[in-house]
Amino acid sequence: MLCNAKIVEALVSFVVMFTTKDARLTKKTLVLWRCTGYSRSSSTNLSPRKNMRILTLLSLSAFLLSCCGCGGGGGKVPDELRNLAPVSVTVKNGDQPMAGIQVILFAKSGGAFACNGVTGTDGTAQIQSSRSSYTGKGAPAGIYTVVLSEPIEVPEELISQESDQNLPPTAQAEKSRKLNEFLSRNQKMPSALTTGASPIELTVADKTGATLTVDITQYK
């Protein structure tokens, strides 16, 4: 099965906007979406390999959407979120705190709930857990894989456009080279920490919770 790129992009935009209510974050997400090359001409089907990665992303987005609902902390407390323990994750680049990093915890035992947070100016994210319309502070006891995501502002001229298909191959290659150069120069987060195969694990103890500090220089 192949996905139409324009439809996929619209779904990504909808999921991010619906879950965050943040138009600026939605724009940043689409910028990253386009710059990675997943968004192409609406008349072009994506390759099976890219299609699989897109479907994985959409599955994750749908999962977070179903877990987060509209947020706000209201609604009936789900049984698996009745006993939440405080969890904080600090992300640093050497001795410098990193702000705006999305921290996502994936329970190794599974569970239909989402645990995430965003780092502040001090580099620390206070984790919250969500399911349906309920959001609570902390996370259930268990072992988690920690995944980190870094937003990057990419110049408009480097973003993949529909008109790129009309460019000569040499011009397309040059644009791709400049994009890769920009990302390598500005992307600080090691790629190993941005997927479900992240080597970072966090054990959350019942009641006492957990505190974790991640120095990304240790994974470069």
Tally the domains of the chain. 2
Instruction: Map tokens 């990419």 to a residue.
Output: 154
What is the pLDDT, as a whole number, of residue 46? 43
Three-class secondary structure of residue 97 per DSSP:
strand
Which tokens hold the place of 83?
A: 């006993």
- Pair 134, 165 in one domain: no
Residues 10 and 50 in one domain: yes
Report if residue 14 sits inside a domain: yes
**Rounded to 5 degrees, what are φ and ψ at 153?**
-85, 115
d(CA 174, CA 170): 6
Q: Which two tokens stand for residue 185?
A: 């120069």
| Nearest Cα to Cα of residue 141 among 149, 129, 133 | 129
pTM (2 d.p.): 0.63
Inside any domain, residue 73: no
Pair (30, 131) in one structural domain: no
Q: Is residue 74 part of a domain?
A: no
Q: What is the CATH number of the domain that holds 132?
A: 2.60.40.10
Residues 139 and 211 in one domain: yes
Q: Within this chain, do residues 20 and 84 fall inside the same structural domain, yes or no?
A: no
pLDDT value at residue 50: 44
Surface-to-core class of residue 163, CB atoms within 10 Å of its CB (0-12 exposed, 13-18 middle, 19+ buried)? exposed
Name 130's bridge partners.
114, 135
Q: Does 145 map to a domain?
A: yes
The answer to whether the Cα torsion of 162, 184, 29, 49 is positive or negative is positive
What's the pLDDT score for residue 11? Answer: 52
Q: Does one domain contain both 41 and 90?
A: no
Whether residues 176 and 206 fall in one domain = no
Residues 105 and 130 in one domain: yes
Domain identity same for 9 and 41: yes
Using 70 as the pLDDT threshold, list the residues of the chain that sit under it.
1-75, 112
Domain match, 206 and 146 both: yes
Are 207 and 119 within one domain?
yes
Answer yes or no: is 135 within a domain.
yes
Which helix (H) or strand (E) element contains residue 211? strand 210-215
What does the pLDDT read at residue 133?
A: 84
Whether residue 47 is contained in a domain is answered as yes
Within-domain flag for 23: yes
Q: Is 205 helix (H, G, I), strand (E, B) or coil?
A: strand
27 in a structural domain? yes
In terms of residue numbers, what domain contains 121? 79-150+190-219
pLDDT of residue 172: 87
Contact by Cβ (8 Å): 216, 91 = yes
What per-residue confidence (pLDDT) applies to 37? 45
Q: Are residues 163 and 194 both part of a single domain?
A: no
